[in-house]
Amino acid sequence: MAIPDEKMEYRRLGRSGIKVSVLSFGSWVTFDTQLDTDLALECMQAAHDAGCNFFDNAEVYAGGKSETIMGAALRELAWPRWSYVLTTKLFWGIHGNDPNMRNTLNRKYLMQGIDGSLERFGLDFVDVVYCHRADPDTPIEETVWAMSDIVSSGKALYWGTSEWSADEIRAAIEIAERHHLHKPITEQSQYNLVERSKVEIEYARIFDDYGYGNTIWSPLASGLLTGKYRDGIPEDSRAALGGYGWLAKQITAEGAVQRVERLRPIADRLGCSMAQLALAWCTLHPMVSTVITGASKVSQVHQNFGALAVIPLITPEVKAEIEAALA
């Protein structure tokens, strides 16, 4: 089946007024590790040409170098600042083992962390800043006040959470409402065909009650859902990178590749790649505001954004077939 070109869809980020492209571009793993500034610029331009307006980053990615590379690319691209949505995340820290500046969401770290991110980006503000994980050692009230103050200061326009539990998200929203503070508007969690329970089960009430958004990461299960690991781990894949042994172990887990291979006949019949099928499937969940894609080369950006044309091909019948293949 020939797949026609498809225009980008834009969705509201949660119940906020801002709209983000349903497919977006992130820098996790690739920036600095696999992409220098020039190649990062080319990939970002390719995503932008496809209609992407959402670019994701984090303080901890490559120890701050990812933000520096993306900032340099944005300066060279010279896009109007109003034309794209830029995000970053704070929690892990990049200042060694200082007890107040790592694995925390205390006020001191957050207020200084956002300043460091903006300095590396070379910008006055980010559109969304996330708490990259929850912090059991800092009262949620302290974190909510600090994040709200960051928004009030204009250093970020919105704030969100990443890999928080539903109970933690609900507590943050209720604290913000009680004190008339800026509420978090979106989560950023892992979601894909083989990792689904958090979004589909745990967050169901959060979405229903608050319209909470989700800018999902790892939609291809770190490459597992592309089918490229059928014959082992390619040397140029992220699973072969130093420090990613955990990923190689996950990919080579007994039955993982074989289970994913059941999707290949469906993709072949639709005339798309397995990656495009997996990305398109992720967009179908109503809580998903955007699907963050990654790439180490421009050709991968083009392939990923080709999933736009696959979305309308996943009819209820095809979706049921996908479920049956993975059961």
**pLDDT tens digits along 62-90:** 999 999 999 999 999 999 999 999 999 99
Query: Per-residue pLDDT tens for 268-308?
Result: 999 999 999 999 999 999 999 999 999 989 999 999 999 99
CB proximity list for 214: less than 8 A, separation 6 or greater: 186, 187, 188, 189, 191, 199, 203, 207, 287, 288, 289
**3-state class of 312 per DSSP?**
helix
Residue 35, pLDDT score: 82
pLDDT tens, residue by residue, 40-50:
999 999 999 99
Residue 87 exposed, middle or buried by CB count within 10 Å (0-12, 13-18, 19+): buried
pLDDT over 50 (residue 123): yes
Closest CA to 166 of 208, 129, 109, 219: 208
Mean pLDDT of all residues belonging to the chain: 93
* Portion of the chain with pLDDT greater than 90, in percent: 84
Catalytic residue among 10, 61, 158, 191: 61
Q: Is 203 a catalytic residue?
A: no
Q: Is the pLDDT of residue 180 over 80?
A: yes
- Tell me the pLDDT band of 37, cut-offs 50, 70 and 90: confident
Domain ranges for the chain: 10-326
Instruction: Classify residue 56 by burial, with Cβ atoms within 10 Å: 0-12, 13-18, 19+.
Output: buried
Query: For the domain 10-326, what is the CATH code?
Result: 3.20.20.100
pTM over 0.85: yes
pLDDT score of 230: 75
Quote the CA–CA distance of 272 and 94 in Å, as a whole number: 40
Measured distance CA(13)–CA(21) in Å, rounded: 10
- Look at residue 311 and tell me whether its pLDDT is greater than 60: yes
Beta-carbon count within 10 A of 166 CB: 18
Q: What is the mean pLDDT of residues 139-143?
A: 98
Question: Is the backbone of residue 222 left (phi > 0), alpha (psi -120 to 50) or beta?
Answer: left
CA-closest candidate to residue 199, choices 162, 249, 158: 162
Task: Report the range of poorest mean pLDDT among 25-34, 169-178, 213-222, 318-327.
Answer: 25-34
* pLDDT tens-place string over residues 183-217: 999 999 999 999 999 999 999 999 999 999 999 99
Structure tokens at 281: 């499937």
Q: Provide the pLDDT for residue 2.
A: 45
pLDDT score of 228? 81
Report whether 138 contacts 170 (CB < 8 A): no
